[in-house]
Amino acid sequence: MNVELKNIHKHFGKVHANKGINLNIPSGTIQGILGENGAGKSTLMKILSGFIQADSGSEIILDGKSVTIDSPADAIHHGVGMLHQDPLDFPPMKVLDNFILGRFTGGLFPNRKEATQDFNLLAKEFDFSFDPESYVDSLTVGERQQLEIMRLLWLGARVLILDEPTTGISASQKSKLFSTLKKLPEQAMTIIFVSHKLEDVESLCDQVAVLQAGELVGEMKPPFNTSKLVEMMFGKVVTLGERQPVLTNETMLELKNVSLEDVRLKIKNVDLNLCAGEVIGLAGMEGSGQGMFIRACAGLVRPVGGRVKLKGQDLTGKSYHAYKNAGVNFLPAARLEEGLVPGLSLTDHFVLAEQPKGIFIDRVAGQKLAEDRIKSFNIRGTPLSMVESLSGGNQQRAELALLQDPLSLVLLEHPTRGLDIESVIYIWSKLKERCRQGASIIFISSDLEEILQYSDRVLVFFSGKVSPPIDAATTSVEQLGQLIGGKGWPEKGGSHA
Amino acid sequence: MLKGRLSGFVFQLLAFVLALVFVSLILIAAKASPMEAYKNMITGSVGSMRKFAEVLVTFVPLLLVTAGLLITFSAGLWNIGVEGQIVLGAIGTAWVFRQFVDSTLPAGLIITLAILGGMAFGALWASFAGALKTFGGVNEIFGGLGLNFVSTALTLYLIFGPWKREGVASMSGTEPFPDHFSLPQLPDLRISLWALGIALVGVVIVYFILQGTYFGLKLKAVGKNFRAAYLLGIPTWQYSMYSFLICGALAGAAGAIQVAAVYHRLIPSISSGYGYLGLMVAMLINYQAIWAIPVALFFAALNIGSIQLPIVMKLDSSLAGVLQGVLVLFVLLMEGVRQKFVKKA
């Protein structure tokens, strides 16, 4: 199926997520879509698959016919199916039931016999092995993808969108997925492959489009020029401001052979020595392991192996509250979900963060504390303002104002995401002040310039692999971009000294 | 802020009117005069001193239960098990009384011990729901509901088993306790000022816990955002447990008063549905302790006022429950409407 996107615009409030994107994908093509987090890839794909609707004036043309797609069901009716990053299936149900779901053939009872036949036929065609009567929660992520692809094809998809499909699946499943995908264009299917993994895109796609900040900034056909792609994804390097490293020889945090695990990722044998006053930036596409890593440094994720020491004190396996007492504070990215308590005022927050002793609330002291903090952190709000009524930047400042004093280690997730430049500079000046007082900082950011500007060293994460610490002063956006995209990693032995 | 409060009040008034209209329509459909029904309910509740005393007898346990639920709601917990906690409070009090039937200790001391025993039993029962939630991952609604059934079974077992009356066990309950085991009542009226005092003290304490203490503030933080509260350094699951214990103790006190001041024995349905009614009151007042007294009094009046409906108008006395339920639903509904309205404006 021939897919043509014309002048696609999408606003979320003030955010302009897609800025007039034009893209033509001929029938039988495997189209790669590249871009960093927030570049607008997902928005574009959600528009094409009916999850959200584009602003008026945008046009989607399928096989020469202009269509409006109002819902995912509508999309599949038009032949567009999307495979999501996290499989949208029903784990407690049987494979066959998952397969049948979404297909409306009329009648009260699904025709299981016919469905089973179709299922087995499709599975045979792609060389997948499933027991239709087994349960989905017994499948691996890769198998669930295969199931979802079969389901979408059975529903009549002629365009298949895959969002980061190679995250969380094994190498053999990946090669199977790719060989499956390569078969489909022969049947005039169109594949749209969304990824940040340069290698995958380069080995699979017939053409690649790169998005940056909501705009289509370039297209390329094989042979691919990796460094050109990286440049298009991350933009040109801007000149950096003055860097002021505050380094000492005193070790603040020591990670020895730390291994972490969750359902999707395994991080193996990380060693790290963080000095007092040092800032380390964690780079990588979202979900590459940096979130788990920073939570392990906070005591929120228990390592499956190795030791964590803070100022020589062994904290391995202790709770977050023990870490907190030792001077570790963690500020999560989801401000209103994890960091602040909606429904409580700024005063309430500051009072709680002081770990108050005693029974009765000292309102006068609380009021004064709140006024002081609001002033010194330049928060636009009153002591009685509810945190959810503050703007994002002010919520972030409020979170910073909650940091304990004194502090040894500050862990921050996307400390400046979505903030205007003035807030960014202000927040970093406050953080650097902490460094001068002897605290160390580890922060996650998807903004490479922020990482280069404010870190002393950088760790890059890619699918659970952790790079050796890179000196921020001598690296470049280009080099980090390659690593983030999975290029330039040593073949074996991912751990470092 | 003021505008928000004002619009809140307007919408609640509207909800009240709509609830009355809705119930009136039901009454008209049942071929009864709404005006006459409401008039009967008013005279039935505040028409005489004796009737008003009955309202207060209902008000006391309802207020205690509501006060307890304000604590668990503040901690973000749906303590449906409150009904069983009342029952266990009654059982605890009855148990203490049985220990002292032949005692020569002063009656005041025995009654105090009995009420404290009831509170302890209620708190213990609540701690089961709390432990199931904290350590077993069982939602407190399911755990509480299950424990409610167990508490009913336990009462029946006691009444028909170990605590049965001399001769033959009966649904009318255990052997009444001696007269000096009951809280002093006003002459000719069933209400005990002591019971009323306990309930008022209970709700005032809850009000101050929630408004003026670090404990209350932490409890609210846990209820509003468990995760953020944990990151702020609050021991979250412990606070959930504390809230269960406090609520259980207050519900236990309600059960204790049912035994010590109303029934003077253990009867099968000693909790009389006050737990569920208390949930409705707490929802209706949007978890604001300051409104607990008037609204609980109003609900108690509805309950008592509808008692004479079957005799006077051949209407079922469950009309009070219909009105209470409809009122809560309309208030919740109008709150949803208000939020949409405010967002648009």
Closest CA in chain B for residue A343: B224
pLDDT of residue A244: 64
Domain boundaries, chain B: 1-32+319-345, 54-314
Instruction: Give residue A355's pLDDT band: very low, low, confident or very high (50, 70, 90).
Output: confident
Q: Measured between alpha carbons, how far is B63 from B250 in angstroms, rounded to an integer? A: 9
Q: Look at A340 and B225 and tell me if their CB atoms are within 8 Å.
A: yes
**DSSP state, residue A345:** B
Helix B107-136 vs helix B82-99: crossing angle, to nearest 10: 140
pLDDT of residue A129: 83
Q: What is the dihedral of CA A237, A241, A246, A249, to 10 degrees?
A: 30
Comparing CA positions, the residue from A433, A468, A36 lying closest to residue A280 is A468
Instruction: Give residue A242's pLDDT band: very low, low, confident or very high (50, 70, 90).
Output: low
Instruction: Give residue B345's pLDDT band: very low, low, confident or very high (50, 70, 90).
Output: low
Kind of pairing between the strands at A457-462 and A190-194: unpaired
Contacts with A349 from chain B: Cβ below 8 Å: 232
Highest mean pLDDT among A50-59, A91-100, B125-134: B125-134
> Å from B248 to nearest chain A CA?
21
pLDDT of residue A256: 92
Q: Which uninterrupted H or E stretch holds A255?
A: strand A251-261
Closest CA in chain B for residue A363: B212
Nearest neighbour of A320 by CB, restricted to B215, B225, B230: B230
Scanning A155-252, the segments in alpha helix (DSSP H) are: 171-183, 198-204, 226-234
pLDDT single digits (tens) A83-93: 987 777 888 88
pLDDT of residue A354: 86
Give the residues across from A82 on adjacent strands: A161
* Mean pLDDT to the nearest integer, B295-305: 93
Paired tokens of B55: 């309202």
Nearest neighbour of B225 by CB, restricted to A321, A342, A357: A342
Paired tokens of A334: 């989801």
Q: Measured between alpha carbons, how far is B51 from B48 in angstroms, rounded to an integer? A: 5
pLDDT of residue A171: 75
Grouping H, G, I as helix, E, B as strand and the rest as coil, residue A16 is: strand
Instruction: Give residue B282's pLDDT band: very low, low, confident or very high (50, 70, 90).
Output: very high
pLDDT of residue A460: 93
* Mean pLDDT to the nearest integer, B147-159: 96
Paired tokens of B329: 């639903």
Grouping H, G, I as helix, E, B as strand and the rest as coil, residue A283 is: strand
pLDDT single digits (tens) B162-207: 998 887 777 888 989 998 899 988 888 889 999 999 999 999 999 9
Alpha carbon A392 to its chain centroid, in Å, reads 19
Q: Look at B227 and A337 and tell me if their CB atoms are within 8 Å.
A: yes
Q: Which uninterrupted H or E stretch holds A325?
A: helix A320-325
Q: Measured between alpha carbons, how far is A141 from A128 in angstroms, rounded to an integer? A: 14
Instruction: Give residue A78's pLDDT band: very low, low, confident or very high (50, 70, 90).
Output: very high
- pLDDT at residue A492 greater than cutoff 70: no
- pLDDT at residue B271 greater than cutoff 50: yes
Instruction: Give residue B99's pLDDT band: very low, low, confident or very high (50, 70, 90).
Output: very high
Contacts with A332 from chain B: Cβ below 8 Å: 231
Q: Look at A352 and B232 and tell me if their CB atoms are within 8 Å.
A: yes
List all residues of chain B from 211 to 230 with a beta carbon under 8 Å from chain A.
212-215, 217-218, 220-221, 224-225, 227-230
- pLDDT at residue A249 greater than cutoff 80: no
Rounded to the nearest 5 degrees, what angle is found at the Cα of B120, between the Cα atoms of B116 and B123?
135
pLDDT of residue B298: 94
| A88 phi, psi to nearest 5 deg | -90, 70
Q: From its phi and psi, is residue B110 left (phi > 0), alpha (psi between -120 and 50) or beta?
A: alpha
Contacts with B230 from chain A: Cβ below 8 Å: 320
Q: From its phi and psi, is residue A13 left (phi > 0), alpha (psi between -120 and 50) or beta?
A: left
Answer for the pair B85, B130: CB distance below 8 angstroms, yes or no.
Answer: no
**Above pLDDT 90, what percent of chain B?**
69
Closest CA in chain B for residue A339: B228
List all residues of chain B from 230 to 249 with a beta carbon under 8 Å from chain A.
230-235
> Which of the two residues, B168 and B289, has the higher pLDDT score?
B289
Rg of the Cα atoms in chain B: 21
List all residues of chain B from 90 to 109 with a beta carbon under 8 Å from chain A.
none
- pLDDT at residue B221 greater than cutoff 60: yes
Predicted ipTM of the assembly: 0.84
> Å from B24 to nearest chain A CA?
37
Give the residues across from A219 on adjacent strands: A209
DSSP string covering B202-237: HHHHHHHHHHHBHHHHHHHHHHH-HHHHHHTT--HH
Contacts with A352 from chain B: Cβ below 8 Å: 217-218, 221, 229, 232-234
- pLDDT at residue A495 greater than cutoff 50: no
Measured on CA atoms in the order A100, A101, A102, A104, is the torsion positive or negative? Answer: positive
pLDDT single digits (tens) B8-46: 778 888 999 999 999 999 999 988 889 999 999 999 898
- pLDDT at residue A277 greater than cutoff 50: yes
Q: Look at B214 and A361 and tell me if their CB atoms are within 8 Å.
A: yes
pLDDT of residue A131: 86
Closest CA in chain A for residue B213: A360
- pLDDT at residue A100 greater than cutoff 90: no
Instruction: Give residue B88's pLDDT band: very low, low, confident or very high (50, 70, 90).
Output: very high
CATH number of A3-234: 3.40.50.300
Biggest CA–CA distance in chain B, Å, is 71
pLDDT single digits (tens) B302-315: 999 998 888 888 88
Q: Look at B213 and A344 and tell me if their CB atoms are within 8 Å.
A: no
Highest mean pLDDT among A65-69, B82-86, B334-338: B82-86
CATH 3.40.50.300 residue ranges for chain A: 3-234, 237-327+404-497
Nearest neighbour of A360 by CB, restricted to B212, B229, B232: B212
**Above pLDDT 90, what percent of chain A?**
38
pLDDT single digits (tens) A450-486: 898 899 999 999 888 899 999 888 888 888 888 888 8
Contacts with B218 from chain A: Cβ below 8 Å: 352
| A352 phi, psi to nearest 5 deg | -65, -40
Q: What is the residue type of A215?
A: E
Q: From its phi and psi, is residue A344 left (phi > 0), alpha (psi between -120 and 50) or beta?
A: beta
Paired tokens of A44: 């574009």
**Chain A residues bordering chain B (beta-carbon distance below 8 Å):** 320-321, 324, 330, 332, 337-344, 348-349, 351-353, 355-361, 402
Contacts with B213 from chain A: Cβ below 8 Å: 359-361
Q: Measured between alpha carbons, how far is A177 from A167 in angstroms, rounded to an integer? A: 12
Rg of the Cα atoms in chain A: 25
Q: Look at A361 and B217 and tell me if their CB atoms are within 8 Å.
A: yes
pLDDT of residue A448: 84
Those residues with Cβ within 8 angstroms of residue B17's Cβ, 6 or more apart along the chain or in another chain: none
pLDDT of residue A322: 93
pLDDT of residue B2: 47
Q: Look at B225 and A352 and tell me if their CB atoms are within 8 Å.
A: no
pLDDT of residue A493: 46
Question: Looking at the domain covering A237-327+404-497, what would its CATH class be?
Answer: alpha beta
pLDDT single digits (tens) A300-347: 999 999 999 999 899 998 999 999 999 999 999 888 888 899 999 999
Q: What average pLDDT does the structure give for chain A?
A: 86
Q: What average pLDDT does the structure give for chain B?
A: 91
> Å from B213 to nearest chain A CA?
4
Q: Measured between alpha carbons, how far is B117 from B95 in angstroms, rounded to an integer? A: 8
Q: Look at B218 and A352 and tell me if their CB atoms are within 8 Å.
A: yes
pLDDT of residue A246: 66
**Above pLDDT 70, what percent of chain A?**
95
* Mean pLDDT to the nearest integer, A120-134: 86
- Tell me how many residue pairs between chain A and chain B have CB atoms under 8 A apart: 64
> Which of the two residues, B256 and B161, has the higher pLDDT score?
B256
Nearest neighbour of A344 by CB, restricted to B215, B224, B231: B224
Contacts with A388 from chain B: Cβ below 8 Å: none
Q: Look at B215 and A359 and tell me if their CB atoms are within 8 Å.
A: yes
Paired tokens of A51: 């999850």
Per CATH, is B54-314 categorized as 1.10.3470? yes
Answer for the pair B252, B119: CB distance below 8 angstroms, yes or no.
Answer: yes
Scanning chain B, the segments in alpha helix (DSSP H) are: 2-29, 34-46, 49-74, 82-99, 107-136, 140-160, 193-212, 214-224, 226-231, 236-257, 274-284, 292-305, 309-313, 319-344
